[in-house]
Amino acid sequence: MDLAQLREACSKYTKPAGFKPSYGTAGFRAEASLLHSTVFRCGLLMAARALKTGAATGLVVTASHNPVADNGVKLVEPTGYMLDQSWEVWADKLAVAEDTDALCNVIRELYQQEDIPYGSGTVMLAYDTRPSAEELVKAAGSGVQALGGLPIVCGLLTTPQLHWMVRHCNNSLKHTESTYYEEFASGFCTLVKGCKAEPQALTVDCANGVGAEALKTLSERIGAQLSVTLRNTGEGGLNEACGADYVQKERQFPAGMDDRQHGARCASLDGDADRLVYFHGMPAGNLQLLDGDRIAVLAALLIRDTLQKLPSDLPSPSVGIVQTAYANGASTQYIREQLRLETVVTPTGVKHLHAAAEHFDIGIYFEANGHGTVLFKPELIQRLHELGDCHEAAKDLLALVDMINQAVGDALSGILLVEAALRRRGWGLTEWADLYTDLPSRQLKTLTRDSGRKTDFTALQIKVKDRSVVVTADAETRAVTPEGLQSRINDSVSAVPSGRAFVRPSGTEDVVRVYAEAATQQAADDLAAEVARHVYDLAAGIGAPP
């Protein structure tokens, strides 16, 4: 490490006064003009991580489903997974260092405590379609070079593509963008080969993001076996009234898709194409959402059907589904009672779900927001290869391995998963939706005291002076502090048929998020409002009380 070179590079990327970036559930995000120092320092971090692991790491400049004025950075382990949680503390220390001296001190501390060898580490870089992205990726490259590392700019990619490339690179496999499309397309075509059901037309909202061009290329590789029409491909604002997060949270049709006829098969990606939800129109202009919970159930059905065709003398692989507290209670009941599969509940954030899924031979995880994937243990993959071409079910499972991004949640991979599963069963969205009926729910971080209705979720934020006063346990389903909050929540829930509610501090702002379920939508709305009032009373709410 050349300290003089490091100091000179650090001095060019000073942190804005008063800016206190914090590593959230998936990296850093903020208004783009504030982030040059943060992204530079993430370049330093991932160069050091590459040296520590002796393998290539990755970094994607993206703010996912945030507005176009924001940006951020996601960090990739050599395995293709998200940054190891034990290193998040170093990300925070580097990001908040006030000046060059403080930053260099953190680097020295990092090298000493983590026993970083000197040398040159490789970091693969990518970025999405935001106007600020290319300038920020240069800052990341400067950070890599400041530690003597080699930045490889892979260009404009979806976040999951970069994760996939890092994983394949470190496994000595072909890891070009073209290979990504070839593997996914090949796996999909194998799974739908011989299906009696014809491909159904699918209209995809691409959120005006990087996924539009990627999905176009993938669909061209697949050809007639996948019938897609792309909307919101860049003609509008990134994530502006469109995208998976908008559809899932607002239960509204995305911009440019209100002409879809009743029953039309539709899907939405988010801005960096790592989230996916399906939906279709209902009578009176309503929208029926098929979210991450339902994608997990559909994946489990496909896997169960295929496993049942394996030779009976083979040991049965363990299969489990990982959810968060945000999973609708009806989905959990269906998985346990109808599919008879084990479910695990983890805190919010795919890094937690991914780790839990690794304990199964086949681990399925999806957050309700549509971010998730299916993991196959290497030992199971090896057993399937040993069956070779002798068994059709083994070939199908290996095709699934190729088609599903094993590194991270991938919306393009998710589309292929859903379409293959539906084709093999001869289903449309109606049959999929009819598997179970969601309990009405309300996710809340805003309230207003309005005339007439008891609750109207549009204006007043439930802000608190310090979100850290709310501490949770049991995968965020129980509030430990402030004292008395959980008992109030319990009292409110017990008075509501099919009631369930929990609160959790936001990972990015001083807001406490509320989730409630009940037998009716009005009851869920009212329960969310009542729990919000408890939070306001006991967690030092700011502004007018709800």
How would residue 455 be classed by pLDDT, with cut points 50, 70 and 90?
A: very low
The rounded distance, in Å, linking the Cα atoms of 290 and 281 is 11
Spatial contact of 538 and 485, defined as CB atoms under 8 Å apart:
yes
Nearest to residue 384, comparing CAs of 374, 405, 398? 398
The rounded distance, in Å, linking the Cα atoms of 181 and 171 is 18
CATH code for the structural domain at 3-175: 3.40.120.10
For residue 208, give both structure tokens.
């005006």
Give domain limits for the chain: 3-175, 179-290, 441-542
The rounded distance, in Å, linking the Cα atoms of 253 and 281 is 8
Spatial contact of 299 and 435, defined as CB atoms under 8 Å apart:
no
How would residue 282 be classed by pLDDT, with cut points 50, 70 and 90?
A: confident
Q: Does residue 454 register a pLDDT over 60?
A: no
Nearest to residue 137, comparing CAs of 199, 193, 92, 71? 71
Q: Does residue 463 register a pLDDT over 80?
A: no
End-to-end CA distance of the chain: 55
User: Are 3-175 and 179-290 in the same CATH fold?
Assistant: yes
Give the pLDDT confidence of 93-130 residue by residue, as tens digits. 999 999 999 999 999 999 999 999 989 999 999 999 99
3-state secondary structure of 288: strand
Residue 543 confidence (pLDDT): 60
Spatial contact of 230 and 256, defined as CB atoms under 8 Å apart:
no
Residue 164 CA neighbour count, 13 Å, CB half: 29
Residue 452 confidence (pLDDT): 39
- Mean pLDDT for the stretch of residues 280-306: 91
Active-site residue set: 64
Based on its alpha-carbon atoms, the radius of gyration of the chain, rounded to whole angstroms, reads 23
Give the dihedral sign, CA 458/464/466/472: negative
DSSP code per residue over 100-132: HHHHHHHHHHHHHHTTPPSS--EEEEEE-S-TT
Q: Does residue 178 register a pLDDT over 60?
A: yes
Residue 261 confidence (pLDDT): 64
Give the pLDDT confidence of 522-545 residue by residue, as tens digits. 999 899 989 988 988 888 766 655
Share of the chain above pLDDT 90, in %: 78
The rounded distance, in Å, linking the Cα atoms of 383 and 162 is 28
Spatial contact of 35 and 28, defined as CB atoms under 8 Å apart:
yes
Q: Does residue 152 register a pLDDT over 70?
A: yes
Spatial contact of 400 and 380, defined as CB atoms under 8 Å apart:
no
Share of the chain above pLDDT 70, in %: 94
Q: Does residue 306 register a pLDDT over 90?
A: yes
More confident residue, 25 or 376: 376
Q: Does residue 457 register a pLDDT over 90?
A: no
Q: Does residue 64 register a pLDDT over 60?
A: yes
Q: Would you state the CATH architecture of domain 441-542?
A: 2-Layer Sandwich (3.30)
Hey, which residues does 28 pair with through a beta bridge?
73
Residue 542 confidence (pLDDT): 60
The rounded distance, in Å, linking the Cα atoms of 498 and 440 is 10
Residue 214 confidence (pLDDT): 98
What CATH superfamily classification does 179-290 receive?
Alpha-D-Glucose-1,6-Bisphosphate, subunit A, domain 3 (3.40.120.10)
How would residue 251 be classed by pLDDT, with cut points 50, 70 and 90?
A: confident
Give the pLDDT confidence of 29-40 residue by residue, as tens digits. 999 999 999 999
How would residue 445 be classed by pLDDT, with cut points 50, 70 and 90?
A: low
- Mean pLDDT for the stretch of residues 136-140: 97
Q: What is the DSSP letter of 256?
A: T
How would residue 451 be classed by pLDDT, with cut points 50, 70 and 90?
A: very low
Q: Does residue 66 register a pLDDT over 80?
A: yes
How would residue 260 be classed by pLDDT, with cut points 50, 70 and 90?
A: low
How would residue 453 be classed by pLDDT, with cut points 50, 70 and 90?
A: very low
- Mean pLDDT for the stretch of residues 158-178: 97
CA–CA distance from 51 to each of 45, 144, 191, 269, 311 (Å)?
Answer: 10, 11, 40, 34, 45
For residue 48, give both structure tokens.
């050091």
Contacts of residue 326, Cβ cutoff 8 Å, sequence gap at least 6: 348, 367, 368, 369, 443, 515
Helix (H) or strand (E) holding 471: strand 471-473
Residue appearing with tokens 């729990």: 531
